[in-house]
């Protein structure tokens, strides 16, 4: 019983953080345009790029609120002072290193980098493929050791990507070759995929998961992007290397 009570106290802390993070995602998504015009055509709200982060943020807040509610039902409001004292104790450091929190760090890092670093600066197809490839491999493998290694590799690559987006660096790279950020993202995708493969290549079960995950990461953005771009005629958040190739194929512009 004491172990369950201790768990619920940590749920009160982590649930509050998750709830606040979801609200922050919703707030940032609200800064995106819900409606806009393109070539004289007014786009309706249900094709807005803000819908996906709005939905994700709302779901994160809801799940965080439900976790807090469950914790309070078990330990009651009287546990709040104990939680505050626990936050000032060394036990907090141990808790922040638990597998559940590492998964949370991975989710935050993935969504933050996708929404605030890649989606506005990298071709939509490449940014989405990178996001799904990382997300699926980190969580579908369901292995704490692999999660830590993959997250560390992704954070290192994201740091390089972030530096490449700084104006002086980006300008210098674009002067050398067109779509420099997209080519760098493509290289990152290949490097991450190769790194993940090397980690699991000796495990037949993991190899099967890897193939399924990579197939979904490749097919899903292509299908969604093609529908929005060429059927609904909705401009993608960032159109770069892949879109230029698809445009050339679509309009036979060779």
Classify residue 114 by burial, with Cβ atoms within 10 Å: 0-12, 13-18, 19+: buried
Q: Return phi, psi of residue 89, to 5°.
A: -105, 165
| DSSP-assigned beta bridge partners for residue 139 | none
Highest mean pLDDT among 22-36, 95-109, 139-153: 139-153
Using CA atoms, how far apart are residues 191 and 213, in angstroms rounded to an integer? 16
Long-range interactions of 178-182: CB distance < 8 A, separation 24+: 179/123, 179/240, 179/241, 179/244, 181/121, 181/122, 181/240, 182/122, 182/123, 182/126, 182/240, 182/241, 182/242
Residue with tokens 């700084």: 166
Token pair, residue 65, equals 């609120």
Distance of CA 103 to CAs 110, 112, 132, 178, Å? 11, 14, 15, 36
Sign of the alpha-carbon torsion through 244, 193, 114, 223: positive
pTM of the model: 0.70
Contacts of residue 169, defined as CB under 8 A and 6 or more positions apart, other chains included, come to 163
The H-or-E segment that residue 221 falls in is: helix 204-226
Highest mean pLDDT among 70-74, 106-110, 187-191: 187-191
Please state, as a whole number, how many other Cβ atoms lie within 10 Å of the Cβ of residue 88.
8
Using CA atoms, how far apart are residues 158 and 119, in angstroms rounded to an integer? 13
Tell me the per-residue pLDDT of 214-245, one tens digit each, with 9 for 90 and over.
999 999 999 988 888 888 887 888 888 998 88
Looking at residue 2, what is its pLDDT?
39
Tell me the per-residue pLDDT of 129-177, one tens digit each, with 9 for 90 and over.
999 999 999 988 888 889 999 999 999 999 998 888 888 888 888 888 8
Q: Decide: helix, strand or coil at residue 37.
A: strand
pLDDT band at 22, cuts 50/70/90? confident
Using CA atoms, how far apart are residues 149 and 134, in angstroms rounded to an integer? 12
- For residues 125 and 17, the model is more confident at 125
């Amino acid at each position: 019983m004491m172990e369950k009570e201790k768990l619920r106290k940590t749920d009160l802390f982590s649930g509050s953080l998750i709830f606040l993070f979801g609200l922050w995602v919703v707030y940032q998504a609200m800064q995106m345009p819900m409606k806009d015009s393109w070539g004289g055509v007014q786009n309706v709200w249900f094709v807005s790029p803000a819908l996906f982060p709005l939905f994700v943020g709302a779901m994160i807040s809801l799940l965080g609120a439900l976790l807090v509610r469950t914790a309070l039902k078990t330990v009651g409001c009287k546990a709040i002072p104990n939680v505050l004292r626990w936050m000032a104790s060394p036990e907090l450091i141990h808790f922040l290193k638990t597998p559940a929190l590492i998964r949370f760090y991975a989710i935050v890092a993935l969504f933050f980098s996708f929404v605030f670093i890649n989606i506005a600066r990298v071709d939509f197809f490449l940014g989405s493929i990178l996001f799904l490839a990382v997300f699926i491999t980190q969580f579908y493998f369901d292995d704490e050791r692999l999660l830590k290694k993959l997250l560390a590799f992704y954070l290192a690559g994201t740091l390089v990507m972030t530096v490449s987006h700084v104006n002086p660096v980006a300008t210098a790279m674009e002067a050398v070759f067109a779509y420099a950020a997209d080519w760098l993202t493509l290289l990152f995708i290949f490097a991450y995929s190769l790194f993940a493969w090397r980690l699991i290549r000796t495990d037949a079960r993991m190899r099967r998961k890897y193939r399924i995950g990579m197939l979904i990461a490749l097919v899903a953005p292509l299908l969604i992007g093609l529908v929005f771009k060429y059927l609904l005629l909705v401009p993608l958040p960032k159109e770069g290397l892949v879109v230029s190739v698809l445009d050339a194929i679509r309009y036979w512009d060779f």
